[in-house]
Structure formats: C-alpha cells, structure tokens
Structure 1
Amino acid sequence: MALRNPVAEPALATALSETPQQRVLRQLLEALLFEGLVPCYKTDSRSEGWQWLSFPVGTLQARCRGRVRGFSRVRLDIETLSFSRNKRTLSVDLPALIQELPGSRSRQQLLLNELTATITNEEQLRNSHQTRTLNNRRSLHGEALDRAIHEGHPYHPCFKSRLGFGADDLMRYSPETSNGFRLHWAAIPRRYLSSHLPASDLTFWQAELGEETAFLLRAAFHRVGIDWQDYGALPVHPWQWRHINTGPLAAQLERFDIRDLGPLGDRYQPSQSLRSLFNMTRPNKACIKLPLGIHNTSSRRHLEPHSVPSAPAISHWLEAIVESDPWLSRDYPLRLLPEYASLSFIAKPGTLPGQHPLEGELAAIWRTNLSARLNESEQAVPLNALFQWQPDGQPFIQPWVQRYGLEPWLNAALATLILPVWHMLAAHGVGLEAHAQNSLLIMREGWPNALLLRDFHDSVEYAMGYLASGTPEPDLGEAQTQYDQAPDDLYYRMTGPEALRELAVDTLFIYNLSELALLLEDAYGFSETRFWACVRKLLDQYTQHHPELQHRLAQLGWNQPRLKTESLLTQKLQPDPGSLSHWVPNPLAINPTGSSVPFTDHQQARLS
C-alpha cells in the first residue's frame, strides 16, 4: 500500500514537525477532550473524519481541526488552533490556559510545573549533540532500539516532565543522552533487608557481578568497618542515593545504620522507562530495576514497596501458568522476562512494607536478559516502535509493510500482540498490563512470531471468582497471610473480571494499539473503522475456537457499547476516587444486526 502525501495530512505533518510547545499543548487538549473535562462540539456528528471542533475551556472558546477516533480518542491539528473570548480572538499562553481548567490553584500549578518541565527537557534533549540520531533505528532491535525510542508517551502531556532532574542529571540519566554510569552501593543491616535471591549472597553476587567486582564489594564492607554476616549489599541509582543522602531522608540512613559503599561495578544505560537499566559493560547480563524518586507522566518513579519482595514469586507464578498451557507455546506464543531476584529495605520485618518513607526508595529487582528469550535470527521490537515516524517521512514499519503487504502483516501483528494477553485473561483469569513499553514483538525478518512481556511485579491482576479452576493463586510466601487479609483492589487481587478487562483493554487497545491505528490511517489511508474491525474479527475467531470459554468471555463484557477507562490527566487536576476513570464508546461492540456501533453518535452525546 502506497504512503500518503505528508503535506496533505494534518496529523502526519504535525507528527514530523511540531515543536515541544505545540506537542505539549496538543496532547493536553486531546486529553482534556478524551477524558470529558472539556465538552466538545463537532461540526458533523455523523462524520468520523477531519472537521472543525469547538470546545470551551473555562471562559475561553477554542476552535481546532480534529477528529474523534476509536474509543473516543481525539486527534487535533494544533496549527489550526485558535482561542477567543466574547468573540474576540486571543493569544493564550500555557499558564493562562491552565488557569481555566477545573481543579484547585495548587493542582493547576503542579500540572503547569510538569508541562513546563516537559517542554524545557524536550528542548534540551532535542538540541543536545549527545542525543542519538533516530535515522538508523530500523537497524536496531531489543535494548538498543528501546533506548532509541525518544518520543515518550504519545497520550500523556507530561511525557518528559522528569521532575527532580537538574539539567546535568537530564543529560546523564536520560536514555536519549546517557553515556552510561556505575551504580552506587549501600550496606543495610540484614534485619532491615528483605532478600529474595535465588542463591546465597556470595554465589548471587559472583554470578551477577563477576568474581572481581564481587571481591571489590566485599572489600568495601571491610573498608567501612562492617561484617558481611551482619549487613547485605544493595545497588542504588546514583541520582537516588544523592537525593536521599542530601535530602530529608538522610537522617533515616543514620537511624537504620545504612552505610555508604560508593560506586563500583559495571556501567549501565537507562531504558526508555528510566528506572530499568541495561548492562552496558556486559550486555548479556540482567536488566536491573531501581527506584528513582522523580515524577514523570502519571506518577513518582519509586518502586511500590510491597511489590519488590513479591516480584520473584509473581514471575514464578506466571511462568508456571504459561508452561502448563500448550496454547501459549503453540497457537498464541507468549514468552516472559521473569524477575528472578529482589532486595529491598523494610523497616518492620515480617510486615508488608509501605509505611516508612525509605521503603520503596531503596530496592532492586533483577530481570532476565532479553537475549535469553530470543532464538537464532529473531529480533525483539518494543511495541511503541511500531507507531513511530522516521525522519525520512516514512513509518518505522514501512519496510515490513512493503515486503509483506499491509493487511497480511497487520493481521499477523495483531494476532501476535493480542491473543496471548487475551488467552491469559479469558482462559486463566489473569490480567496483564501489556502497555507499549512492556510488550515486545518477536520478529523474524520483519514477520511477527511471538509476544514477549516484562515488568510484572506491580502490573498483574487476578480475581478469585474468575481464576480458572486449574489456575492457582500466586504463592507470595511469608507475606501471603497479609495479602489474604488485605481488601480486594489494593494489591494483585481484584474484585471481579471487570477490573481485569479494564487493565487489558486500557493498556492493549485504548492507549496502545490505538496509536498504531492512527499511524495506519495517516500513513496508508487504512481507516480506523477497518482497523478495529480487524481486531473485532480476531476476537470473534478466538471465541469460535474456544467454545468452552464463551461464558468466561461474556463475563468480561469486552463487547458492550461503553467501557470504563482510566483518566490519566483528570487524576492530576481532581485527585479523588470518583475521577479515576470515565466511560468511552467501544468500537469493538456490535449491535443486534451485527454491524459496528457508530461510536461517533455516542461520542457526540457524551461530549456535548
């Protein structure tokens, strides 16, 4: 299928040329419209194409060309945006616009700080000679490609806020510019160290660090006058150590007798998620995930305290499910990158951590290296690479589309990405957060072969009443009793299948494949209606192949006319339980005649 003309398509032109200010403003307005914080009025309620949209933002009236897409996602051509008040055209800057949004002044200011930081950081990174070129990304895969995806979150307007990083930190610890760094090390009294290692300390460190670095670690203990029997070692992100050691938590280090061992060992480079670090010195060694007390997109980037000790158990549970199900090796091939070891500070041994301010700030999780899950001639492509544009004006996926044809390649990609997650949900009752950074497409010569998922410690859910009869609950070890006594919807156990469906549909469809649908329409004229029809056909075929699961699939309610989805921006402005989600029309629904529900009519009713 031939590419469209970039100049003729507003969204394509924007994707290739917009400034950081334009992108932040566009994504802010798109999120406001999508989450219903601002009502939207369409010129033609029956049209799914580009048209003029009008929407009031407080006392301002805005007008912009755009279109309402599947699941009510909105796309704007930001260069056509204009503001007026009382029919007088105005020039409105970002601070003035934020003041018009719903929410308290303090919440508005916090959002403005994050948006401003995003613009500043994006400008600095774009202008840095250290930023790696995007021209040759098609020759990369795996961890190298992960680090080269610089675009950030395609929906959230605070996609590079990274609050807490100074200008030097941004250059040193960002994947766009980092030349690598060594980890800092601390020694923690063993009574305060929750250790979940697959072997004894010495054996583990020799395997992970090598004999020489393990010796230097032991020598560091002697240098500060402590004994290996009484203290355990913990790696810390160098920014995190400086932040703790010079900030309000410094007194807590002394209170719990936590010792500074200094930097040592291999050099690491940050992934696009910032907290997950790839070994630069020995690329075949584990990826390590460390807490990082900065704010980026939706949250502070520490590690959820309870999830660190549970990480190996959750991975073991998932691996056992996958290994026991031949569908997941034969028809819906799913591979996992397990988290096999963890260490964390815990103030009160024998309890679920989360009460002390150091818990979740001093922790580490080791994840199996990507190369261990690839066969010969296979490549791993992070899912968010699939919907990126290249500086040559072509989509990242263009060589594969050209080689195999758009629809054959797309159908193979959709089946590979969706069906493993769908089968884990429907057949086992396990919800996986398969968002674009955690999902990798395993390819051979550009053809999709399998799905590889990672990052499970705080992104897996199940519901007791929906677990399949042959699928056990996870065994969470010494903390099991406390997990059992906790209320539903707090940790891994949810109230019912609706929550699992929301997790899967949000991450896989609404905030993920929706971006691929946008690219295909803008680049190739492959309409979103056709895209979601392909997805719907795939899910229908799955249902036909598994008549034994029809009742379980019906419990998910995935094809109802409206679905609930997370409100990412609203939570920043109105952080109360009632603002955590909103309803959107579902392009995967069918009406009694079997045709797709015209979501634009429902969208108009919701937004107006």
Structure 2
Amino acid sequence: MSHYPVPVAQKHLRHLEPGTWQHVNRHLVAKAIVEFSHEQILQPLLCDESDENSQFPHGQDWHSYLLISEDRRTRYHFLAYPMKLRHWHISESSIIRDCDGQLLDPDALSFIIDFKDALGIPEEKLPIYLDEISSTLYGAAYKRCHQSLSSRDLLKADYQQIEAAMTEGHPGFVANNGRIGFNVFDYESYTPETGSRFTLVWLAVHREHAHFASLSTLKYDSFIERELGAQRVAAYREQLQQQGLDPADYLFMPTHPWQWFNRLSIAFAADIAQRNIVYLGIGEDTYQAQQSIRTYFNHSDHDKCYVKTSLSILNMGFMRGLSPYYMAGTPAINEFLKALIMKDSLLGEKRFDILQEVASIGFTNSYYDAALKKDSPYKKMLSVLWRESPAKRIQQGERLMTMASFLHKDRDGVAMLPLMIKQSGLTTVEWLSCYFDAFLVPVVHCFYAYELVFMPHCENLIMVMDESNVPQRCIMKDIAEESAILDEDAEIPEHIARLKVQVPEDYKILGIFIDIFDGVFRHMSDILQSNDCCNEDIFWALVALSVKRYQHENQALKEKFHRYDFFTDSFKHSCLNRLQLKNNLQMVNLADPAGSITIADDLPNPVARYRTMSVAELQSFIQ
C-alpha cells in the first residue's frame, strides 16, 4: 500500500485543470518563440508589411509572422514587433496553431517536437528536455492557481514574500523550472514559489573525509554554536559519545531533507555504515527556499546565515550539487573580494556590497572520488556553505527586494516595474538613472578597474530600496562559484588561484553585454516600452549616459575603456538555450566556462549609436 496520503488529485493536483493549462502553455510557447528566435534557432517568416489591428497598442510597428513545423503540418501565426538586441515582443493572445487545417490551442510540448531538429537536442536527451518542459508547465500552473499577491500588493510586501512570488524563473531559459527528481509532495514542501518552510537534517561527518573552511575571523566551534545553539551542539556531541565516537573527530553540517532521504542515505550507505557520516536529527530553525532553490533563508532568526546545500535534482542544465573542492576555497575567495571592494572609493561611494559566503564544509566520498577522475554530480552530493544574511545590512527606511521583481508580471499580466516607478514619485528617467547608478555603474567599474566579473543576473542581485521604492544600492550574492578575475597579470594568492580565469580577450566584456544587456535590460526595456513608460531608444540612451558619466569621471582607466569598448558596434551573442539544448545534463564546464560558450551571429550593440555623443548631448537627447 502506498504511504502517500489520498486523495492526491483533489489536494495536490488541483492546478492541473484545462483553463490554467491552456494559459501556461500559450505563455510558454510565446516565450519559446521569443527566445529561440532571439538565438536564431528559429527564423519566423514575415507575412505582411504591418498590422494596424486596433486591439493592439498604437505606436508600434506590428507585423504578422509565421513558423512552419519541420513536418510542414503545423503552422504558427502570431503578431509581434521586433526590438533591439534581436528581441521580439509577441502578443500571446495572437498565437494561432494550425495543424492540418485544424485550429488547436498552443501546446509547449508539441512545439518542442515540431522543431526538435532545428533545436538540435541530442536524441538521447530529448526526453529529458521534454520532462523539464513538463515540469516548467507544472510549476507555472501551480503559481497561477496558488499565488494571490498582485504586482501592486508586492510594492509593500516583505523580502521573502517577494522572493516566493516570482513566477518566471530565468527570463531567458525556456525550460527553467526543471526540478527533475522532486515528486508532487516535494514540490509543495521545498520549491521557492510555495513559500513553504522546512527544517534541515543535521549530520556529523568525519574530519578524515570532510573539510571545514571559513573567513579568517571565524572558528568552527564558535560558528557552529552560533548556527545551532549551545544546547543543540552539546546534545549532538553527547549523541556521538553514546555511540562510542569522539565528537572531536567530527564536523556538524546541515543537508536538505530531500537530499538525505532520497540520495545520501542510499548512495552514501557505506560511509554511514562505517560511521564516516552519522545522522543526528532534524534541526530546530525553519527555512524557506530562495529562487535558486538550494539556498535557504532562515525564518527563525533572520540574522543567521543563509544555508546553501547540495541538492541532486536536475534543474536548468545542471545537477545542483556543490563541489567539496570548491567549498574549500570559497570563504577565502569571498574574503579576498570583500577586501578588494571595501578599499575601492567608488564602490564605497555607491555602497556596493557582497554577501560573503563565510563558511563551508565539503564531504568527499572516497569511492566516487577514486572511481571518477573527471567532474561528476556524484562528487558533489554532500557539501554546504553558509552565506551572510542581508537582514543586518539595511537601515531605517530601507527594504530588500530581489532584482527579479523588476521583470515580474502577476497572473493578470500586470508588470511590477511600472507600478514601482509610479509609486516612487519620480519620472521614469529619474528612476532609471537611480537604478543604473546603483547597479550598472558598480558592476561596470568592477570590470574596468579589476577585470572582476560576477554573474549579475536578476536572481543574483538584491536591491536595497527606500520606502518609496527608489533604488538606493545593490548587494551581489553567489560569489565564489560565479565570480572571476580575468586579468592574467593580477596577483592572487595561490590558495584561491581558481578565481583567476583565462578567457579570450574579446570575451571579457561579455559579462556585461550578455549577463546585463541581454539577460536583464532586454526584458526590462520591453516591459517599459509595452507599458508606455519609456521607449527603448530613451532606455538605452540612459544606459549610455550612466556609463559616459562614469568614464568621464574615471580617466585613470581610459586605456581600459579603449581596450574593452562599451560602445562597440556589436558583440558576440552567447546563447543560453543553445547551451541547454546541446547538453541539458551539464550545460557549462565550470573549469572552462569560455570553452562552453555557444555563439549565434553578433548582436548589434544598442548603445553604439551614442558613442560620439557627449554627456550634455545625451542629456539633451533624453529630454
């Protein structure tokens, strides 16, 4: 007899009903057309010169387009207008799916099958990709049925309410909510959009197989006592003693309950039997999964650290493990970068900051380590890192908000960003100027001053806003795994040498062009233009103006500005979906990220036209 509660369908699957399913499929097909066309995987055919249909906003050059399936049986008609960066703004409601003369509702799984050869998915990986599409649709349906906060509600919501309310996942990836490995009960218990709270499993791991690392200011005993509490630490030590084990031989570490019960208790059975791993019990603090799913916010004590653990589910091109090898150097990398940022006067003026990953433990399974010489998810199944909480970083009158909220639309399609700007009391130009000053300028400066690059996509940025929702400053997170110094001559301590990464010279500035221009601003300018807040010419002129001002005030870096031209005519288009489609099990080799890049035709740079304009001329153009 099944141990799962019944009836399942009524309680856990009520979001899977025809109307909701129809809506989320139409949305995902529209997104697939946008992103696959953006990456030149698909080439929509122009059917007419223009469409002046009154149901669509005036002032845009709407056209009718067509995609024909590879077997020629299905035709997708839709209305759209092209934007900069080869972006498409598509009217979701206009999509018509004609299959052998029969009009059918758009279906995302059928769409992938219709164009599977063009998408280039290896045959053995196609079922996995379809599984990820199904999971993405499942999550979208859940969010549509269960998330009740509107974009207007989120203007005054707290940080974790906003975090749980995000619906889109990654704005560029089509299959962005895989979570392959979770069942329906795991989904409700552990995914970010449910806002569920859960406790972590605590283990004792033998020091012979595990490594603790921390900032130089932290020691294991005091740190773990702060996270667990003195009473719980004493109880765990006594528990080990009762089993005839010496507590001094062990480190205490948390892991995700799903990871323990579904992966570790079986895959690491030998280590458990040999007492290299000892199950201690369930912790007291409750946590909430963040958008990155394997990072958890402490709800019991907001000042305690985030916890990030290995989670062996397949999600968006990776099995979400954590490397014990990477964990060993993580706190030191964070300490080095924090010192670099703290001594920089411009970053200090902008109050740019990072959330340090202050401590880590990595456990090495000797069997998998001996058997597998190459990188493998099996080597990354039991690690943890602790990251500073942002709760202590805000002052009176400030609030935290994920930058993903700037691209958020609620279930009725209402975008949060225009409401935020309106509430601020500023004009769109004034608000965007504050935003670019808080976010873009510090990240650009890190690149030009130190060739330091982050992965500054929306989920990795925490915006600090004032009470009127005006951007004040930003805090970067996910540092050690997604940061690099590209300067080959930079002096970096040997123990954190992996921070220095070699990439071709013309790839270096792609961290700005791809992660910010293509990954964030492309979608933001679409939202602003489609909501009549700011046309894209003005948007990109404001981007140019913020960097023009920065460059004018930092002439000591003039040679770098020339070498890495922010206003170049075009830049390489590194394609995210192409990466995932090529290998949805390991999208990028972290040891050689540049070698993993998949390129389409160069993208015209939307700020190139402003290269010769002065600050004064740009200001005049914007006004």
Which residue pairs with 2:136 in the alignment?
A: 118
Q: Using a 3 Å threshold, how does the CA distance of structure 1 residues 325 and 534 change in structure 2: closer, same or farther? A: same
Pairwise CA distance, 1:158:
1.7
For residues 70 and 310 of structure 1, do their structure 2 counterparts lie closer, same or farther at Cα, with a shift above 3 Å needed?
A: farther
**Partner residue, 1:231:** 250
Question: What are the residue-to-residue correspondences of 1:149-548 with 2, within 5 Å?
Answer: 149-198=166-215, 199-245=218-264, 247-251=266-270, 253-254=272-273, 257-330=276-349, 332-347=350-365, 355=375, 358-390=378-410, 394-397=414-417, 398-402=419-423, 403-445=425-467, 446-465=469-488, 467=490, 472-473=491-492, 475=493, 477=495, 480=497, 483=498, 492-548=500-556
Contact 1:401 1:409 in 2 (8 A): no
| Bigger RCO of structures 1 and 2 (CA < 8 A, at least 6 apart) | 1
Q: 1:213 to 1:75 in 2, by over 3 A?
A: farther
Confirm whether residue 68 of structure 1 aligns to residue 82 of structure 2.
yes
Give the counterpart letter for 1:34 in structure 2.
H
The question of 1:137 aligning with 2:141 is answered no
2:601 matches 1:571: no
3-state SS of paired residue (2:392): helix
Contact 1:183 1:235 in 2 (8 A): yes
> 1:430-484 CA deviation, whole Å, 9 max, x = no partner?
01111101112212222222121111011111123475xxxx42x353x65xx4x
CA shift in 2, pair 1:73/1:543, >3 Å = same
Query: Is the alpha carbon distance of 1:105 and 1:563 closer, same or farther for their aligned partners in structure 2, counting shifts above 3 Å?
Result: same
1:195 aligned partner, one-letter code: F
Amino acid at match of 1:322: I
Q: Is the 8 A contact 1:62 1:84 kept in 2?
A: yes
- Give the Cα separation in 2 of the matches to 1:593 and 1:55: 40
Report the CA distance shift for 1:88/1:383 in structure 2 as closer, same or farther (over 3 A): same
CA contact (8 A) 2:306 2:388 kept: yes
The 5 A counterparts of 1:544-563 are: 544-563=552-571
Greater Cα shift, 405-414 or 199-208: 199-208
- How far 1:386 moved relative to its partner? 1.7
8 Å CA contact 1:353, 1:359 repeated in 2: no
Q: Is 1:33–1:39's contact at 8 Å kept on the other side of the alignment?
A: yes
Query: C-alpha displacement at 1:114, in angstroms?
Result: 0.7
SS of equivalent to 2:485 = strand
Return closer, same or farther for 1:156/1:121 CA change in 2, 3 Å cut-off.
same
Tell me how far 1:179 sits from its aligned partner. Answer: 3.4
Contact 1:190 1:231 in 2 (8 A): yes
Instruction: Report the alpha carbon displacement of residue 249 of structure 1 after superposing the two structures with TM.
Output: 4.9
- Contact 2:322 2:381 survives alignment (8 Å): yes
Is 1:28 paired with 2:32? yes
Displacement, 1:266? Answer: 1.1
Taking structure 1 as the reference length, the TM-score comes to 0.84
Q: Distance in 1 between matches of 2:557 and 2:308?
A: 37
Paired residue type of 1:108? L
Partner SS for 2:252: strand
Deviation at 1:353, TM superposition (A): 9.9
1: CA distance between counterparts of 2:60 and 2:494? 48
- 111, 132, 148: which is aligned to 2:165? 148
Which whole-Å deviations, capped at 9, do the CAs of 1:91-129 have from their partners, x for residues lacking one? 47444432332233323222111101211233234434x
- Residue 305 of structure 1 contacts residue 353 of structure 1 at CA under 8 Å; is this kept in 2? no
Q: Tell me, yes or no, if the aligned pair for 1:566 and 1:581 is still in contact at 8 Å.
A: yes
What letter corresponds to residue 45 of structure 2 in structure 1? Y
Distance 1:19 1:462 in 2: 44
Task: Tell me which amino acid in the other structure corresponds to 1:385.
Answer: S
Shift of 1:321: 1.1
CA distance in 1, matches of 2:456, 2:409: 22
Which segment is superposed worse, 167-176 or 441-450? 441-450
Whichever residue aligns with residue 429 of structure 2, its letter is E
User: How many angstroms apart in 1 are the aligned matches of 2:260 and 2:325?
Assistant: 21
- Residue identity matched to 1:133: L
Length-normalised TM-score, structure 2: 0.82
SS of 2:235 mapped into structure 1: helix
Q: Deviations over 1:472-523 (max 9, x none)?
A: 42x353x65xx4xxxxxxx641224543321232222211122221111111
Shift in Å, 1:65:
1.0
| Aligned residues of 2:488 and 2:502 also touching (Cα < 8 A) | no
> Which residue is 1:81 aligned to?
95
Contact kept, 8 Å, 1:384 with 1:436, in 2: the verdict is yes
- 2:364 counterpart letter in structure 1: I
Alpha-carbon distance change, 49 to 553 in structure 1, aligned in 2, over 3 angstroms: farther
Query: Contact (CA 8 Å) 2:355, 2:387: kept in 1 or not?
Result: yes
Question: Which residue identity lines up with residue 313 of structure 1 in the other structure?
Answer: A
Q: 1:69 to 1:381 in 2, by over 3 A?
A: same
Structure 2: give runs of 5+ residues left out of the alignment.
1-19, 51-58, 588-594, 615-623
Aligned counterpart in structure 2 of residue 108 of structure 1, from 126, 150, 159: 126
Structure 1 residues 235 and 177: alpha-carbon distance in aligned structure 2, compared to 1, 3 A threshold = same
Q: How far apart in 1 are the matches of 2:307 and 2:34? A: 35
Query: How far apart are the structure 2 equivalents of 1:531 and 1:440?
Result: 22
Shift, 1:356, TM fit: 6.6
Note closer, same or farther for the CA distance 1:498–1:192 as it changes in structure 2 (3 Å cut). Answer: farther
Where 1:288 maps in the other structure, the secondary structure is: strand
